[in-house]
Amino acid sequence: MYPFEYHKAQSVEDAVAQVTRGDDGKFLAGGMTLIPTMKQRLASPDLLVDIGQLDSLNGIRKDGDTIVVGAMTTHATVERSPLVNAHLPGLAQLAAVIGDPQVRNRGTLGGSVANADPAADYPAAVLGLNASIVTDKRTIPAEAFFIDIFETALEEHEIITEIRFPIVKNSGYKKFPNPASHYPIVGVFIAVTDDETRVAVTGAAGFVFRCEEAEKRLAARFDAAALEDMKLSHEDFNEDIHATADYRAHLIAVMASRLVESMR
């Protein structure tokens, strides 16, 4: 290991003030991505500011017609939350299939969303539910948050404090997981409101996106049969040892159909 400074933050203000002291200071949340990245020398921050003890970033509450999840809330807490299960079953389903129990007990919503891994599960719920990402500086709508592979609208040293998920009429999530890591090769989140059906896809491309073709078909008829002959253009999709772009396009239709079937 190479030397770096470690600071345990006392408050959000303290975390932000401290992290700017380093040449490459980083917030440490669950450490499920940052620590392996450091071990592989893909990142070498000179300062880690641990936000894990900050109660103000932890927990789940209902605020009118919104479920508010603190950035430091673990995937396991989201999975088991009675509030999330009652109002946003899709979000609970998604949290339940992230990684393995160890990852779910350490990994956090804020860490996952800030990291913006193109194969992460949470971005699908954030975009599908049209959530708002609240930071120490501002509120960023989901549509403006995910920019590219591992790139978000967050500025340097901007900290996510909570994410606000509007309650919708129905929601669900299904993914085709990589059998080793459990990251989605393709993951599909569907949210149904009074006005629209939103379909967000993760894992298929460089960043999460809405599948307009599926949305159009499901708005006309919320039935798996409506997706049967759906053929998506896949020129921008990921190609790797796990799946071709064409196979990922096929998986979107399959996962979306299965999900619709389970939501009816």
Ligand X SMILES: Cc1cc2nc3c(=O)[nH]c(=O)nc-3n(C[C@H](O)[C@H](O)[C@H](O)COP(=O)(O)OP(=O)(O)OC[C@H]3O[C@@H](n4cnc5c(N)ncnc54)[C@H](O)[C@@H]3O)c2cc1C
In the complex, the residues that contact ligand X under the rule CB under 6 A are: 26-34, 36, 71, 98-99, 103, 107-108, 110-112, 114-115, 120-122, 159-160, 181-183
Alpha-carbon torsion 256, 258, 261, 262, what sign?
Answer: negative
Which is nearer to ligand X, 29 or 230 (by Cβ)?
29
Q: Is 222 exposed, middle or buried (0-12, 13-18, 19+ CB in 10 A)?
A: middle
Which is nearer to ligand X, 87 or 175 (by Cβ)?
175
Query: Min. distance of Cβ 132 from ligand X in angstroms?
Result: 14
Which is nearer to ligand X, 133 or 230 (by Cβ)?
133
Query: Min. distance of Cβ 151 from ligand X in angstroms?
Result: 12
Report how far residue 176's alpha carbon sits from residue 134's, in angstroms, rounded to the nearest whole number: 30
User: In the beta sheet, which residues pair with residue 173?
Assistant: 189
Nearest-CB residue to ligand X? 111
Report how far residue 62's alpha carbon sits from residue 109's, in angstroms, rounded to the nearest whole number: 17
Which is nearer to ligand X, 141 or 220 (by Cβ)?
141
Report how far residue 153's alpha carbon sits from residue 140's, in angstroms, rounded to the nearest whole number: 8
CA–CA distances in Å: residue 218 to residues 38, 88, 224, 246: 43, 19, 8, 22
Query: Min. distance of Cβ 197 from ligand X in angstroms?
Result: 23
Rg (CA), the chain: 18
Write out the two tokens for 227.
């997706």
Query: Min. distance of Cβ 208 from ligand X in angstroms?
Result: 11
Query: Min. distance of Cβ 226 from ligand X in angstroms?
Result: 28
Query: Min. distance of Cβ 229 from ligand X in angstroms?
Result: 30
Which is nearer to ligand X, 172 or 226 (by Cβ)?
172
- Using H for helix, E for strand and C for coil, what is the string for 60-114? EEEECCEEEEECCCEHHHHHHCHHHHHHCHHHHHHHHCCCCHHHHHHCEHHHHHH
